[in-house]
């Protein structure tokens, strides 16, 4: 519930600085790529022309954002990263992706539900197990029986 | 007479069994996703985007549009009962939740349903009246004019987005660059593909939207606990009925909200979110006693709701007549139409009258269905809100993963959605809004194409944009809007800085 309240306050100087630097890095990377494509002329623009303009604009705006941060007093305010949900959801989705074609949608769905349940602050094992079974059934009915999508069901 | 013919055509299309079914599915699922905390309208539209690949374009568009306004109807339920600030219904919390705590949740739910219906109906009428003439005018536009329109769309999205304009500007440009991934149509040169064959066709907007809005939202909200104040058994038939004074206070607010929403809906970048905020602000300023606001004033609930729905409908005018999206949801819809080989623009209504008028009639059907869902069946949704979020998010995650895989039967897309989910979470931490990025994704390739075409027409003379009256005046307006936006934000920053330094002394 804190998220939307945060979204309306002004970003901190630290958020501006990190955001600005990342923007510059992104723009710089894109520019280096764009310059490797033919530029063409103003009359007949090559594939590199437009991305190069965009990248330069992004770099300029990134510099503006970073400078804006340096103008302000740096409050020692940490950017709070909640690692647990990021890591568990990443592992869950990666597991699903790796299992889907090799083992089929049934084991992949079970893995996805069980692993992603760990992202919650409190683990309720029985609830997760029941949810995994119910979800697998629902997925089977919706995607295999009703929509008849060409998915591997189970392949041990 | 012509209008009646169009109406008849629309009724013919919308009342086929298939389209009725997809309209029903769209509004019901949209409502469901709207009620569920942590899934918004954008996530709802992108999760169901793959389904549209398997059905005809009119059915697909009807379903996606139904998801959009259905989610707006649904979001208000969570706002009133649980104080959940959904993106489209953040301001409804301010007075809706106090009403619920005073035991007037039923009245709030009933009146917002009526407000939604009013806003939508007026919005639909505005589309029917204004879309065809706007398209007719747009037919005379040439490449430089379109270039200018896309620039106006960009500046609008920067000016009206939430948060800092500098950040929104960066996000639009980043979106545009990501939109360029793939094979360049004119030169067949692969750009930003990193040697991956699948990237030659670009990255699907559905994958990006599901990552930035779906997965990122789940990461940010996982482990989130909340408590419900209202039980389903508290919402009785009798509790829904407003008193005479409620009705007297609410109807002018609904009318004003509808007007504001209809106006804001057609502006690029504004969409339903800004319309509802404006609706609330205006009510508070007009009120004889502004102190009632925040304590359960009914005007503060109905005006933003009417505004959000009117804006949601009128945003289809620029989307369908100019091909310029007004918010991330219409951007995803445009993406869906383009995959179907239909490019929305001034020719759209003339070339596909069945889709356009069918969609319009389906809006009416969908809104009636939503009123039915919300008045006789409101207890169902109240009950849904008691399902804990840690049960819901794995369910949503499963649908995202399977949905994204079915777009191209590609495992790579699942990893991409994860990547964009993590990027989206990082953006949220650094306070970058994902909405302008999605708009940029659609606008980027358009801007490049119009720029190139204009340059060929003018023999490489960039002054062409200012010599043509239409493009010239649109560009001047864009420049004024942009200058005004940055000036305003600069002034606000300056004031905040001064307040900070004087507070330190």
Assign A112 a pLDDT band (cuts: 50, 70, 90): very high
Whether A38 has its CB under 8 Å from any CB of chain B: the answer is yes
The answer to whether the Cβ–Cβ distance between A58 and B177 falls below 8 Å is: yes
Helix axes B389-408, A105-117, angle to 10 degrees: 140
- Are A85 and B417 in contact (CB < 8 Å)? no
* Chain Cα centroid distance, residue A26: 15
- Evaluate whether A96 touches A112 at the Cβ level (below 8 Å): yes
Give mean pLDDT, residues B308-326.
89
Distance in angstroms (rounded) separating the CA atoms of residues B49 and B44:
9
Does residue B190 sit in helix, strand or coil?
strand
Task: Report the residue count for chain B.
Answer: 505
Say yes or no to pLDDT of A126 above 90.
no
Q: Tell me which chain B residues have a C-beta less than 8 angstroms from the C-beta of A128.
A: 394
- Annotate B280-315 with b (16+ C-beta within 10 A) or e (fewer): bebbbeebeeeebbeebbbbbbbbbbbbbbbbbbbb
> In this model, does residue B162 exceed pLDDT 80?
no
Q: Which residue has the higher pLDDT, B41 or B252?
A: B252
Q: pLDDT tens digit string along A37-63?
A: 998 888 888 899 999 999 999 999 999
Instruction: Kindly report which listed range (A75-79, B79-83, B188-192, B293-297) carries the lowest average pLDDT score.
Output: A75-79
For residue B166, the number of C-alpha atoms closer than 13 Å in the C-beta half-sphere is: 24
Q: B262 falls in which pLDDT band (50, 70, 90)?
A: very high
User: pLDDT tens digits for B458-481?
Assistant: 888 888 888 888 899 989 999 998
Residue A107, chain B, CB below 8 Å: the answer is no
Average pLDDT over residues A99-119: 91
Question: Angle at which helices B41-52 and B389-408 pack, to 10 degrees?
Answer: 40
SS (H, E, C) chain A: CHHHHHHHCCCCHHHHHHHHHHHHHHHHHHHHHHCCCCCECCCCECCCHHHHHHHHHHHHHHHHHHHHHHHCCCCCCCCCCCHHHHHHHHHHHHHHHHHHHHHCHHHHHHHHHHHHHCCCCCCCHHHHHHHHHHHHHHHHHHHHHHCCCCCCCCCC
**Residue B190 backbone zone (phi > 0: left; psi -120 to 50: alpha; other: beta):** beta
Structure tokens at A89: 């959801």
What pLDDT score does B498 carry? 75
The pLDDT confidence band at residue A7, using thresholds 50, 70 and 90, is very low
Q: Which residues of B touch A121 (CB under 8 A)?
A: 223, 225
* Domain regions of chain B by residue span: 2-497
Residues 6+ apart with CB under 8 A from B498: none
B405 vs A81, A92, A100: nearest CB: A100
Q: Which residues contact B406 (CB under 8 A, 6 or more apart)?
A: A143, A149, A151, B50, B53
pLDDT band for position A2 (50/70/90)? very low
User: Which chain A positions have a beta carbon within 8 Å of B187's beta carbon?
Assistant: 38, 46-47
Centre a 10 Å sphere on the Cβ of residue A32 and count the other Cβ atoms it contains. Answer: 10
pLDDT at B502: 66
Determine contact, residues B406/B124, Cβ cutoff 8 Å.
Answer: no
Given CB atoms, is A36 within the 8 Å cutoff of chain B?
A: no
Q: pLDDT band at residue B37, thresholds of 50, 70 and 90?
A: low
The minimum CA-CA distance between B79 and chain A, rounded to whole Å, is 11
| Mean pLDDT confidence for A100-118 | 91
| Cβ pair B191:A37 closer than 8 A | yes
Compute how many other C-beta atoms are within 10 angstroms of the C-beta atom of residue A53.
Answer: 16
Whether residues A135 and B395 touch (CB distance < 8 A) is answered with yes
Mutant choice from A119, A127, A146 vs B, greatest count of B C-beta within 10 A: A119
Give the per-residue pLDDT at A1: 32
Once rounded to an integer, what is the mean pLDDT over residues B481-490?
87
pLDDT of B436-454, one tens digit each?
898 888 889 889 989 998 9
Q: Is B67 helix (H, G, I), strand (E, B) or coil?
A: helix
Tell me whether residue B502 is exposed, middle or buried, using C-beta atoms within 10 angstroms of its C-beta: 0 to 12, 13 to 18, 19 or more: exposed
Write out the H or E segment, with its range, that includes residue B182: strand B182-183
Q: What b/e sequence results for B444-482 when a residue is b if at least 16 CB atoms lie within 10 Å of its CB, and e otherwise? A: bbbbbbbbbbbbeebeeeeebbeebebbbebbeebeebb
| Closest B-chain CA to A100 | B411
Q: According to the model, what pLDDT value does residue A5 have?
A: 40
- Provide the pLDDT confidence category of residue B228 given band limits of 50, 70 and 90: low
Contacting residues for B368 by C-beta, under 8 A, at least 6 apart: none
Q: Is B497 on the interface with A (CB under 8 A)?
A: yes
State the ipTM, two decimals. 0.91
Neighbours of B233 (CB within 10 A): 9
Give pLDDT tens digits for B115-159.
Answer: 999 999 999 999 999 999 989 888 888 889 889 988 988 888 888
Four-CA torsion A135, A139, A142, A145, nearest 10 degrees: -120
Spatial distance between the Cα atoms of B227 and A5, rounded to a whole number of angstroms: 18
Tokens of B131: 């879309």
Please enumerate in sequence order all residues whose Cβ is within 8 A of that of B330, keeping only pairs 6 or more positions apart, or say none: B271, B315, B316, B319
User: Quick one: pLDDT at residue A52?
Assistant: 95
Q: Is A69 on the interface with B (CB under 8 A)?
A: no
pLDDT of residue B19: 92
pLDDT of residue B224: 61
- B405-446: pLDDT as tens digits: 887 888 999 999 999 999 999 998 898 988 889 888 888 988
Distance CA B89, CA B9 (A): 35
Question: What own/partner pairs with CB < 8 Å and gap ≥ 24 does B63-66 have?
Answer: B63/B22, B63/B23, B63/B25, B63/B26, B64/B26, B64/B332, B64/B333, B64/B336, B65/B26, B65/B316, B65/B333, B65/B359, B65/B362, B65/B363, B65/B366, B66/B22, B66/B23, B66/B24, B66/B25, B66/B26, B66/B27, B66/B30, B66/B362, B66/B366
- pLDDT over 70 (residue B503): no
- Taking only residues 95 to 134 of chain B, the set having a beta carbon closer than 8 angstroms to any beta carbon of chain A reads none
HSE on the CB side for A106, CA within 13 Å? 10
Which of A64, A86, A119 comes nearest B422 by C-beta? A86
β-pair partners for A40: A45
The answer to whether the Cα torsion of B444, B447, B449, B455 is positive or negative is negative
- Residue B344 burial (10 A CB sphere; 0-12, 13-18, 19+): buried
């Amino acid at each position: 519930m804190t998220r939307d309240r945060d979204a309306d306050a002004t970003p901190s100087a630290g958020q501006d600085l990190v955001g600005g630097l990342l923007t510059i890095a992104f723009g710089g990377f894109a520019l280096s790529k764009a310059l490797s494509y033919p530029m063409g002329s103003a009359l007949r623009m090559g594939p590199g022309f437009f991305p190069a303009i965009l990248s330069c604009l992004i770099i300029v705006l990134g510099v503006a954002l970073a400078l804006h941060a340096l103008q302000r007093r740096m409050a020692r305010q940490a950017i709070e990263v909640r690692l647990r949900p990021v890591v568990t959801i990443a592992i869950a989705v990666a597991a699903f992706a790796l299992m889907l074609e090799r083992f089929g949608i049934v084991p992949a769905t079970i893995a996805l539900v069980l692993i992603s349940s760990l992202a919650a602050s409190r683990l309720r094992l029985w609830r997760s197990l029941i949810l995994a079974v119910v979800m697998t059934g629902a997925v089977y009915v919706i995607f295999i029986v009703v929509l008849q999508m060409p998915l591997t069901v189970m392949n041990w | 007479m012509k209008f009646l013919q169009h109406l008849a055509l629309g009724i013919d299309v919308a009342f086929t069994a298939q389209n009725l079914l997809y309209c029903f599915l769209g509004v019901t699922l949209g409502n469901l996703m709207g009620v569920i905390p942590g899934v918004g309208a954008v996530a709802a539209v992108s999760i169901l985007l793959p389904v549209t690949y398997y059905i005809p374009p009119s059915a697909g568009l009807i379903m996606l549009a139904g998801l959009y306004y259905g989610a707006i109807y649904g979001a208000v339920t969570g706002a009133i009962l649980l104080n959940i600030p959904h993106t489209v219904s953040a301001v409804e919390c301010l007075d809706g939740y106090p009403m619920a705590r005073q035991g007037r949740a039923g009245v709030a739910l009933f009146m917002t349903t009526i407000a939604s219906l009013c806003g939508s109906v007026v919005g639909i009428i505005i589309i029917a009246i204004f879309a065809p003439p706007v398209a007719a005018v747009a037919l005379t536009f040439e490449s430089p004019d379109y270039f200018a329109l896309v620039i106006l769309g960009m500046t609008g999205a920067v000016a009206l987005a939430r948060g800092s304009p500098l950040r929104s500007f960066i996000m639009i440009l980043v979106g545009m660059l990501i939109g360029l991934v793939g094979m360049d149509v004119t030169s067949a040169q692969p750009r930003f593909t990193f040697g991956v064959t699948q990237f030659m066709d670009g990255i699907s907007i559905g994958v990006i939207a599901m990552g930035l809005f779906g997965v990122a939202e789940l990461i940010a909200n996982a482990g989130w606990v909340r408590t419900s104040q209202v039980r389903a058994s508290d919402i009785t038939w009798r509790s829904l009925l407003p008193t005479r004074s409620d009705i007297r206070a609410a109807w002018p607010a609904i009318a004003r909200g509808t007007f504001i929403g209809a106006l804001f809906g057609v502006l690029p970048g504004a969409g339903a979110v800004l319309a509802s905020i404006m609706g609330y602000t205006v009510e508070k300023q007009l009120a004889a006693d502004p102190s009632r606001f925040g304590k359960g004033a009914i005007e503060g609930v109905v005006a933003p709701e009417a505004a959000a729905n009117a804006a949601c409908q009128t945003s289809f005018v620029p989307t369908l007549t100019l091909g310029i999206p007004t918010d991330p949801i219409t951007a995803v819809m445009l993406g869906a139409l383009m995959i179907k080989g239909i490019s929305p623009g001034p020719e759209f209504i003339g070339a596909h009258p069945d889709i356009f008028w069918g969609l319009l009639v389906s809006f009416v059907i969908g809104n009636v269905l939503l009123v039915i869902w919300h008045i006789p069946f409101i207890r169902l949704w109240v009950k849904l809100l008691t399902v804990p979020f840690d049960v819901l998010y794995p369910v949503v995650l499963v649908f995202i993963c399977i949905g994204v895989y079915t777009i191209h039967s590609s495992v790579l897309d699942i990893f991409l959605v994860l990547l964009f989910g993590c990027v989206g979470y990082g953006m949220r931490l650094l306070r970058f809004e994902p909405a302008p990025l999605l708009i940029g994704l659609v606008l980027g390739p358009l801007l490049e194409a119009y720029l190139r075409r204009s340059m060929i027409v003018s023999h490489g003379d960039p002054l062409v944009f200012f010599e043509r009256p239409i493009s010239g005046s649109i560009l001047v307006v864009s420049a004024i809007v942009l200058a005004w936006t940055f000036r305003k934000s600069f002034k606000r920053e300056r004031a905040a800085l001064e307040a900070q330094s004087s507070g330190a002394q």
